[in-house]
Amino acid sequence: MKVFLAITLLLMQLFATASVIEVGAGKQYKSIKSAIAAAKDGDIILINKGVYAEGEIVIDKAVSVRGVGYPVIDGKSKSQVIRVEASGVVLEGLEVCNAGYSSSYDWAAIKILNSKNVIVRNNRLLNNSAGVYLQNTSYSEISNNTMQGNSTDEVESGNAIHCWKSNNLRILNNSLTRHRDGLYFEFVTASLIQNNTSFKNLRYGIHFMFSNDDTYIHNTFRTNGSGVAVMFSKNVVMRYNTFEENWGSAAYGILLKEIQGGAVEGNTFLRNTVGIYMEGTSRILLSNNTFKSNGWAMRVQASCEANTITKNNYFGNTFDVGTNGTMQLNIFNENYWDKYEGYDLNKDGIGDIHYQPVSLYSMIVEKMPSASILLRSFMVSIMDKAERLMPSITPVELKDDKPLMKPLSL
């Protein structure tokens, strides 16, 4: 709070004496570079409608760069387009396109380095390998932007929003598509991702690596190559997101790998190969989620422990839960399972006998994936019937001791 207050007071002092500099045909300056060279901290640079191809534009002053009628800033696929090296910069109302690709220098449409309090909002970033790249950046906001990339393979492509070694970021209301990853976080802490739509990216809708104490809420991740991956991180909160239509042999709504602490609450997992895949995960609360029409609602590997899975709805999934172990190291309690056929004699809303969401057939498929060809066959139907009569034949201890008789209103 004190940092934000200090920055706000500084900006108020800067803009109190701000000048307005116009760029465009018939205006004060013909090029963006010349306007930046003439500007002082706190000035406003208005870029009028037109096409500006000036190579890499470096912003090293605390200026506000605003587009009028979405001027096109074109990188001609030869370099990155805008590089920000100052704090207090605002970029808005621009169309930034055709940034080049470089595996050595991480070119992007907009690259922000070693800065604070930078705002990138209401821009169109089109036909770029990478959209916005933030490095060692803090207390900054990327909001209300449209980013449509040109990626065709994972190797020679960049991410829509790439954040490295940064903190206290706000990623809000962006549309992200046709990049390698929609969002990539590495060594990023105390940041918020909210109300973004990440779809049709080659790899992940979000990719977290070594990033702690972050929150993402009310986002939609649709038809990405492998869904969302959160790996090697602590205390990540994931609430009210939608993960849908992530199909493929290695696809899932969300992958949780080597995660400790945090919460997965109020999310919807719809028509994914795997809703949630958990490996090496501990102390996560999974509650109030809806799993509908997935191949596997959840795959919980034997390396997971001390997780609480409670008050979730499971509808129409081919397999509710899959696992590669036989021990019960996690708590499943008070979930609604549409396959549950128990009874409730005392009418308390909780089934009188436990439910085992791991079927014998799912364990066979876990060990021999080729056995999935027998799905909905007569042989599997006989196996399911036998398992219902003798649930002890399923060699796994995972069970819900208090299955709900009616679905939760989530």
Which sequence spans correspond to the domains of the chain?
A: 20-393
Q: How far apart are CA 219 and CA 52, in angstroms?
A: 34
Cβ proximity of 14 and 62 under 8 Å: yes
Q: From residue 73, how far is each of 33, 157, 223, 360 by CA, in Å?
A: 12, 20, 30, 59
Please give the pLDDT value at position 326. Answer: 74
Phi-psi region of 70 (alpha: psi -120 to 50; beta: other; left: phi over 0): left
Residue showing tokens 């108020």:
12
Q: Is the dihedral of CA 143, 144, 150, 155 positive or negative?
A: positive
Both tokens assigned to 329: 């190291």
Give the contacts of 89 (CB within 8 A, at least 6 positions apart). Answer: 59, 61, 62, 63, 64, 65, 112, 115, 118, 119
Q: What is the mean pLDDT of residues 381-397?
A: 57
Q: From residue 151, how far is each of 55, 128, 179, 203, 271 by CA, in Å?
A: 21, 8, 5, 11, 25
pLDDT (tens digit per residue) in 162-202? 999 999 999 999 999 999 999 999 999 999 999 999 999 99
**CATH number assigned to the domain with residue range 20-393, chosen from the 4 options 1.20.58.220, 2.160.20.10, 3.40.50.1000, 3.80.30.20:** 2.160.20.10
Better pLDDT: 179 or 376: 179
Both tokens assigned to 237: 């909160």
Nearest to 271 by CA among 313, 235, 217, 315: 315
Q: What is the mean pLDDT of residues 148-166?
A: 91
pLDDT-derived band at 18, boundaries 50, 70, 90? confident
Q: Reply yes or no on whether the pLDDT at 8 is more than 60.
A: no
The C-alpha R_g of the chain, in whole angstroms, comes to: 25
Both tokens assigned to 40: 């002082």
Amino acid at 320: D
Q: How far apart are CA 79 and CA 13, in angstroms?
A: 35
pLDDT-derived band at 4, boundaries 50, 70, 90? low
Both tokens assigned to 364: 């066979």
Nearest to 274 by CA among 317, 233, 231, 329: 317
Average pLDDT, the chain: 90
pLDDT (tens digit per residue) in 82-124? 999 999 999 999 999 999 988 778 899 999 999 999 999 999 9
Nearest to 290 by CA among 279, 275, 305, 303: 275
Cβ proximity of 173 and 198 under 8 Å: no
Q: Reply yes or no on whether the pLDDT at 11 is more than 70.
A: no
| Percent of the chain residues past pLDDT 70, beyond the cut | 87
pLDDT-derived band at 358, boundaries 50, 70, 90? confident
Model pTM above 0.75: yes
Amino acid at 178: R
Q: How far apart are CA 80 and CA 109, in angstroms?
A: 6
Q: Is the dihedral of CA 318, 265, 262, 208 positive or negative?
A: positive
Q: How far apart are CA 142 and CA 81, in angstroms?
A: 17
Q: What is the mean pLDDT of residues 355-369?
A: 67
188-213 exposure pattern, b = at least 16 Cβ within 10 A, e = fewer: bbebebbbbbbbbbbbbbbbbbebbb
